[in-house]
Structure 1
Amino acid sequence: MASITFVRHGNTNHNIEKRAQGHLDNPLNETGLHQAATVAKRLAEEQWDVLVTSDLLRARQTADAIAEALGMPAMSLDRRLREMDRGLIVNTTEDERVAKWGPNWKELDLGEESCESMRERGLSFIDDIAARYPGKKVLVVSHGYFLGQTFKALMQDESTGDNLQNTSVTTIAFNGDRWEYVLYDCVRHLQPVEKRA
């Protein structure tokens, strides 16, 4: 059974400020670095064959922590795993967008990537990975909104994929007929030790 495990990158200051990140190469903050180390420790409890990451800095920093914990010498970079291209609104908050373009800014063409485009590259990536690494355990580091749109398309379910948490772990498996969740948006590694089951 083909399976792929996805990890959302750790926290950034842009996440805290609700500032559009898009293709910015912004780094993890202190919390994000801790989250990356924590999810890396969790993932090191298993054996993995392949590690692939978005080429953007916040994802690469998360993947670096994972690669170090796993003792993996290298990882692959794939631009298809990038977050949504936010166009002209990159590096802005909602208040800044309203101040610059008005309360109806979402109705304007500000160069943002479409959900359809994200879904297309997400499905293309999954198809390629499943074909290239049959029977292998593949680990992928990417971005929240991109992953959410990919999951919506893959599962054909618009109710899934929303508000994925930083460093959450989601595993999908192909059952011979369709992809299904084995694990979804799991952050047990971030819970206090005494609260873990």
Structure 2
Amino acid sequence: MNAPHSRRDAADAMRARLVAAAIDQLSAEGMRGLTHRRVEQRAEVSQGLVKYHFGSLDGLIEAVVEHMADLELGAIMRVTPEQQATAAATGEVPLEVWRAAHRAYAEIAARPDLVRARFELYLHAGRHPELQAIIRRGRERFVDAAAASLPCADPRAAARMVLALMNGLLLHQLSAPEDIVDELAPAYLIATGAAALLFPLTPVPPEALS
């Protein structure tokens, strides 16, 4: 009776193993090194398993993007209404919010291999429109989840601002690492607060700017 569950669990475990190997391969050699065989070799599994489990390299890439989105969703910093009220009343950010900002940034920055893999995919997508839709779906998942924790008139726009700042911080650390987490985590928190403050603004129509 448990055989179908066992087979499903084994298949899920193999898919997770191949996704992890694909991330390692992307981090080590970039998109040019991401092939069925190299991923299988890195995962130390039989040839043909990438195609069996994902159908194609695009299927594997989509699974990688979804996995990255899952990890990012777990690192979203959420501020409760009570914490927001305390900050507004006292003019000071509660200590638990500062700690949450440190945890959120440190959780993502602790995986430089994942960050390298992500930017390899971003650069590749710039030249391959078929990959852009996959990355866009992963981005929208983050924006939806982050928007739910931003108390402002346009929470989705605010969430995009937070995502853009986080990507910028990670890219800077990836290109020239510095031991300044104590500065970067507050920057993440400041971006979240600034986003909530900025996006009650009514956008100026483009024709008014000319």
More strand as a share of residues: 1
**TM-score of the alignment, normalized to the shorter chain, above 0.5:** no
Structure (1 or 2) with the larger CA radius of gyration: 2
Higher helix share: 2
TM-score (norm 2): 0.29
TM-score, normalisation: structure 1 = 0.30
